[in-house]
Chain A
Amino acid sequence: MKRFIPFLVFVVLAVFLYLGLYLNPREVPSPFIGKPAPDFRLPVVGHPEQTFSPADAKGKVWLLNVWAPWCVSCRQEHPFLMQLARSGVTIYGLNWKDKAREAAALLEQTGSPYVLTVDDLDGRVGIDYGVTGTPETFVIDKAGIVRMKHVGPIHPEVWEKKFAPLLKELDT
């Protein structure tokens, strides 16, 4: 029987790989779509005496970009976020589980695409939002309702396909 172990291991692996084909690692159904954005009040990175809450952004269509200084893909999307910010998109950052406390220095040096970034050190707010990894981006409308969630870095193609039409619709 022992001789069949490698084969059995492979069969188990193959089943998972097959299932994996029909899962999109970037597409997570979020139970928050169409619901009010979970409330929080967190200190602002770089200005710990200030705080921010989603209620403060009511009346605007905005993006909540979950990122972390240790995240590779976040660096990938950073130049594009900068471009978006320059073209007038409102982006708030959620600095997720930044145990090494690097966010403030990093933003100072690389430039910040964010209006401000809040500091979710223990990841609690991340849990409220169902964050599974970084980067993730939520689109929140004028009434504070989550309208979309995107997992993974934003690049021009995704922006044109998923974000731009939605933002246009929400803005009017």
Chain B
Amino acid sequence: MIPELGHFALIVALMLALVQGILPIVGAHRGNATLMAVARPAAQGQFVFVALAFGALAWSFLVNDFSVENVARNSYSKLPEIYRFTATWGSHEGSLLLWTLILSCWTVAVTVFSRHLPEDMAARVIGVMGLISVGFLLFMLLTSNPFLRLVPPVPEGNDMNPLLQDPGMVIHPPMLYMGYVGFSVAFAFAVAALLSGKLDAAWARWSRPWTTVAWLFLTAGIALGSWWAYYELGWGGWWFWDPTENASFMPWLAGTALIHSLAVTEKRGAFKTWTVLLAITAFSLSLLGTFLVRSGVLSSVHAFATDPGRGVFILAFLGVVIGGSLLLYAWRAPRLMSGGGFDWFSREALLLGNNVFLIAALATVLLGTLYPLFMDALGLGKISVGPPYFNAVFIPLMAPVLFLAAIGPLVRWKGDDLPALALRLKWAFTVALATAALLPLTLDGMNLWASLGLFLGLWILFGVLTGFLDRLKHGQGRLLGRLASLPRGFWGMQVAHTGLAVVVIGATVVSNYEGHRDVRMNVGDHVELAGYRFLFQGAQPVEGPNYSAMRGSVEVYRGERRVAVVHPEKRRYHASGMIMTEAGIDYGVFRDVYVSLGEPLDETAWVVQVYYKPFVGWLWGGAFLLALGGALAASDRRYRIALKKEAGRVEAAVAQGAKV
């Protein structure tokens, strides 16, 4: 009964989405206030029914209703309760439902926080989001219904993919989807601007916090995914340039470019059409990512649902949404007049540079991801593009972005004095360069890549420091008071840039100075790596709820002092027979030591893999700072003021904000 209610709720949600997608947009076009007023209640009603459907599916999973095909295929009676709940979105159908639920959460947030928007703008934004929802609901109902029954029901399920039975996987997809789907708000704002032909500073101000919040969730989602791969795949890697990873990284790059371009549009009224195009691009890439993962076009390590019929549907949907919005762009973009000229050396120019390089980097990732497909479709053979390509093209393109990230915030809008800035930064430059050149020499000799990474990381940190000094120079009162009175937008930028520097330094150090050994170990054997001694104390069988495991004990010594005991596991899941490794990790600020069990060789001997990972935690620490920066920026006072004011009075706040 409950699954049928869920199915019915989805149908009702589709009806409401159609209403929400059509009437308000027609109303906005005709200036009909009654039709426009439909937007909010329809969106909120749709949310209620999507949430009901999601609840029905989650309930089916929690009570082990194996008469539902989706539950039977993706769950197992002995699965711990938390994973039975997360199995709700562990499947293709369930993850679509989660996607739709999150989309309607964002829409409801827009209905609540859009009171200050002009009525026609709000109606268009909510309407566009309704149309997107129509696509996803139709997709589910026509090709991927999560509520299909199995006749006759099966007594036991197939179990959830063991890779996904992990705390990281519990929150990774919702975070990622919050990011993906969050860009639909920026997209809807862009389409609304194209429809109305109105794009001013107030528009940019409305779009900005939404974009920033979506971006911060995407950042957190990508970081969680990378962390999960690090501890779950058992060989210590943290980024593989896998198509699925690229699918989430491309919208992130576009979103990062969009955040910076929106800053120019808000403060200077320039880059308008470019901003709109980026907003369309960021969401298009989110949809493309879904297509790539869901359709099986690219063979990926973790593509888990492949079906050409579904692929055709998503592609058609992509065609309507992306193709339609790009046509609209081509048709209406000339109406959006850009204002505000600027000098070749100004903040606008540097942000333009940031955008150009980010988009170039994005293009190389896109090309690398799709290249195998192009070659295949043209009959030129099957090839695979791997990390060597991505590292070779991506790093050189990101280096200028990082270099500019340090100075962009220090340069004034419209135009600035390059020689004066160069003089101010000469010490920062010298110290960063000298440290970056000398530090690798003291470790293991010349290493240009390490030096480049360290230099860029330090350079950004010095840029952040200089930014604070500039701001504090003119203030009155105590230091803490002056720091606290700096606007959140400024704090957000500085924290995020610090996070970027931390990620860069972490990635540089771990890539260049990590150590790894695979050794055969018997009980009592030890192995040395990077000043640590690993003593293998054997492996014992342990029973998990739905798996059996061999649990190793490895003592880690530094000199004579025991710093940690880690317990890597080799698990065999009962239902699927899949074998998984769980790494044993001792986390630290400056290094992780990481042990995983390889193959058992005889009764007591194992292949043991030990890794020394310096600064690897900085990757996720830095990502946390990036997300925190986003949160600070999105909570800036001027957005909250704008919320309280009438739309017409926003202009005044813009002028005031421009000084900040």
Interface residues of A (CB under 8 A from B): 3-4, 6-7, 10-11, 13-14, 16-23, 25-26, 28, 70, 72-73, 75-76, 79, 82, 105-106, 108-111, 132-133, 151-152, 156
In addition to A109-B609, A132-B382, A156-B578, 10 A-B residue pairs with Cβ atoms within 8 Å of each other are: A7-B326, A7-B329, A16-B373, A21-B295, A25-B297, A25-B299, A25-B376, A110-B599, A152-B299, A156-B577
Q: Are B326 and A10 in contact (CB under 8 A)?
A: yes
Q: Which residue of B lies closest to A6 (CB)?
A: B326
> What residue of chain A has the Cβ atom nearest to residue B324's Cβ?
A7
B374 located at the interface, meaning its Cβ lies under 8 Å from any Cβ of chain A in the complex = yes
A residues in contact with B170, CB < 8 Å: none
Interface core residue of A25, A70, A79, A152 (most chain B CB under 10 Å): A25
Question: Is B397 an interface residue when CB atoms closer than 8 A count as contact?
Answer: no
Residue of B nearest to A16 (CB): B377
In the bound complex, CA of A133 to CA of B330 (Å): 41
Quote the shortest CB–CB distance from A8 to chain B (angstroms).
9
Given the interface contacts A6-B326, A10-B322, A14-B323, does A82 sit within 8 Å of B599 by beta carbon? yes
Check A11/B315 contact, CB under 8 A, given A79-B579, A133-B382. Answer: no
Which residues of B have CB within 8 Å of A14?
315, 318-319, 323
Does chain A have a CB within 8 A of B384? yes
- Asked if A17 and B299 sit within 8 Å, CB to CB, the answer is no
Most buried by A among B235, B373, B382: B382
> A residues within 8 A CB of B496?
none
Which residues of chain A come closer than 8 Å to B377, judged between CB atoms?
Answer: 16, 19-20, 23
Given known pairs A7-B327, A25-B376, A28-B382, the reply for A111 and B598 (CB within 8 Å) is yes
Chain B residue contacts of A28, Cβ below 8 A: 382
Interface: B333 (CB within 8 A): yes
Would you give 5 A-B contacts (Cβ < 8 Å), ordered by A? A6-B329, A10-B326, A17-B291, A17-B318, A18-B312
Alpha-carbon distance between A51 and B198 when the two chains are bound, in angstroms: 74
Interface bracket on B: 35 or more
Interface centre among A3, A16, A28, A106 (most CB of B within 10 A): A3
Residues 270-291 of chain B, each 1 if its beta carbon lies under 8 Å from chain A, else 0: 0000000100110010000001
- Asked whether A110 lies within 8 Å of B598 as measured between CB atoms, the reply is yes
Q: Does B353 contact A (CB under 8 A)?
A: no
State the total of A-B contacts with C-beta under 8 angstroms.
105
A26-B299 contact in complex given A13-B370, A132-B382, C-beta closer than 8 Å:
yes
* Cα separation A38 to B179 with both chains bound (whole Å): 51
- Bound state CA distance, A110 and B601, in angstroms? 9
Q: Is the CB of A16 within 8 A of B370?
A: yes
B520 within 8 A of A: yes
- Chain A residues near B315: list those with CB within 8 A: 14, 17-18, 21
B518 touches A106 (CB 8 A): yes
A17-B315, A132-B383 known; A7+B373 contact, CB < 8 A? no
B257: min CB distance to chain A, Å:
14
Given contacts A14-B318, A18-B315, A20-B297, contact A110 B323 (CB under 8 A): no
Please judge, given known A-B contacts A14-B323, A21-B315, whether A111 and B330 are in contact too, CB under 8 Å: no
Contact residue among B301, B308, B333 (Cβ-Cβ distance under 8 Å from A3): B333
Contact with A along B326-339 (1 / 0, CB 8 A): 11011101100000
Are A133's CB and B326's CB within 8 A?
no
User: Which chain B residue lies CB-closest to A13?
Assistant: B370
A11 B323 Cβ-Cβ under 8 A: yes
Checking B240, B372, B601 against A111 with a beta-carbon cut-off of 8 angstroms, the contacting residue is B601
B35 interface residue per 8 A CB criterion: no
What is the CB-to-nearest-CB distance from A29 to chain B, in angstroms, rounded to a whole number?
Answer: 11
Contact yes or no, A21 B330, CB < 8 A: no
Residues of B contacting A25 with CB < 8 Å? 296-299, 372-373, 376, 382
A16 to B374, CA, bound (A): 6
A20 lies within 8 A of B519 (CB): no
Contact (A17, B329) CB under 8 Å given A6-B277, A72-B240, A109-B607 = no
Q: Chain A nearest CB: distance from B306 CB in Å? A: 9
- How many angstroms from the CA of A10 to the CA of B285 in the assembled complex? 11
Whose C-beta in chain B lies nearest to the C-beta of A83? B579
Distance in angstroms from B302 CB to nearest chain A CB is 10
Q: A113 to B92: give the CA distance in the assembly, Å.
A: 34
CB distance from B244 to the nearest CB of A (A): 12
Contacts of A72 in B (CB 8 A): 240, 242, 301
Residue of A nearest to B519 (CB): A109
Measured between C-beta atoms, what is the minimum distance from A42 to chain B in Å?
A: 23
